[in-house]
Amino acid sequence: MKKLYLYLYKRFLVYLLVIFPSFAVVTLLADIIELLRKIKHMIFSDILLYILLQLPEKTYYVLPVSTVIAIIFLARELINRREIYAILTSGISLRSVSVSLVLVTTFITVVQILNLEYVIPDAKAKSYEIYKKLKKGKVEIDEISVAYNTWVSLSEDLFLYFDFIDFETKSGKNLVLIKFDENYYPSYRVESKKFDVGEKSIEAYDGKVILINDIDNIEVQDVRQYTLPFKISIDDLKHLVAKKKPISLTQLYETAKIAQEYGHKYGYFWSKFYSKLTSVFAPTILVVFAVPFVWSRKKNRLLMIFIGIMFYWYMIALISSISATGIIPYQFTLLVNMIYLFIGVFYLSRLRFIEL
């Protein structure tokens, strides 16, 4: 039996290694065309590196569908070559074969989670820097509405930190501004619980101003409102924190919690978090749904699988969008996985090979 499962896994891997690159190349070609349309400087090495850095994200979206298609091709091969009859007559049930295929997809799900948590965020940040270099001009960025836990250098001797900032209202919480003298000793410090970013200055509220003349001469003044004559561009700040845009599950969770804590519109981040939490398990969920229907020559069964896959992604996107408005709970996105899991397990328990 172990040899059988090793054979099945080997054939599954062969199909996956053929199908996945095919889908990935198509999606990358679309990215390349879009990139060449926008950039101003044709630097081949940077273009190649940019394409390579897009691979982790393409893998995340292409791998679930590629996995299901690889399972379908494997099942068709076993049926067409009549190997399935030898398996069944050996006393191995079709349900056992199906479960073994589901188990191997759990490894792919682990790969998806690791890719999303540790690879995609860094790859996205580096690809953004390369894109700026290739374009050499104003770079469009995805809408970033908040930033948090960020240090900003206003000049060589002036640094600003904030716990949270809302780019829409240009206001934030827990600001610290530090100025250094020519010897790089701190000479001036401002702390405030709230702040607003103006066109030419920053208004700080409910804080204190600390003047450090020397170690024995420190002046501390409590202020209800204080004007900092320093200009900070919201657009520049957006570009600065663009590479920190939340992507992974951990980043999305932290951003949602902080946005909720500071009263920002946190629905978008919670909906994105649950959407990613749902879709990261897509390889296993979709295979559980599809595997009871692949053991048939009937074309309507295959059509049902593909319609089910399209409906899966459509429902995740739809429910995520609705939950972002607060009409329904964010956790409703997880119901898509639960429904597909229930359908798959139900039909898997009733699985029979009727073409003997």
Which tokens sit at 80?
């067409």
Q: What is the pLDDT of residue 44?
A: 81
Q: What is the pLDDT of residue 136?
A: 67
Half-sphere exposure of residue 213: CA atoms within 13 angstroms, side-chain side: 5
Contact at 8 Å (CB) between 119 and 25? no
For every residue of 8-55, which 3-state class applies, written as one string? HHHHHHHHHHHHHHHHHHHHHHHHHHHHHHHCCCCCHHHHHHHHHHHH
Of residues 200 and 236, which shows the higher confidence score?
A: 200
Q: What is the pLDDT of residue 343?
A: 95
- Which class for 220: exposed (0-12), middle (13-18), buried (19 or more C-beta within 10 A)? exposed
The CA-to-CA distance between both ends of the chain, in Å, stands at 21
Residue 356: pLDDT band with limits 50, 70, 90: very low
Q: What is the pLDDT of residue 139?
A: 52
Q: What is the pLDDT of residue 70?
A: 96
Q: What is the pLDDT of residue 188?
A: 85
pTM (predicted TM-score): 0.81
**Mean pLDDT, residues 9-30:** 92
Task: State the residue for tokens 């709970």.
Answer: 329
* Least confident window among 72-76, 208-212, 238-242: 238-242
Contact at 8 Å (CB) between 36 and 131? no
Half-sphere exposure of residue 325: CA atoms within 13 angstroms, side-chain side: 6
Q: What is the pLDDT of residue 134?
A: 79
Q: pLDDT digits over 56-93, tens only?
A: 999 999 999 999 999 999 999 998 898 888 888 888 88
Residue 20: pLDDT band with limits 50, 70, 90: very high
Q: What is the pLDDT of residue 74?
A: 94
Of residues 243 and 275, which shows the higher confidence score?
A: 275
* Least confident window among 31-35, 301-305, 312-316: 31-35
Domain boundaries, the chain: 2-137+249-349, 146-242
Q: What is the pLDDT of residue 138?
A: 54
Q: What is the pLDDT of residue 185?
A: 81
Q: pLDDT digits over 91-139, tens only?
A: 888 899 999 999 999 999 999 999 999 999 999 888 888 887 777 655 5
Q: pLDDT digits over 292-308, tens only?
A: 999 887 888 889 999 99
Q: Is residue 141 scored above 70 in pLDDT?
A: no
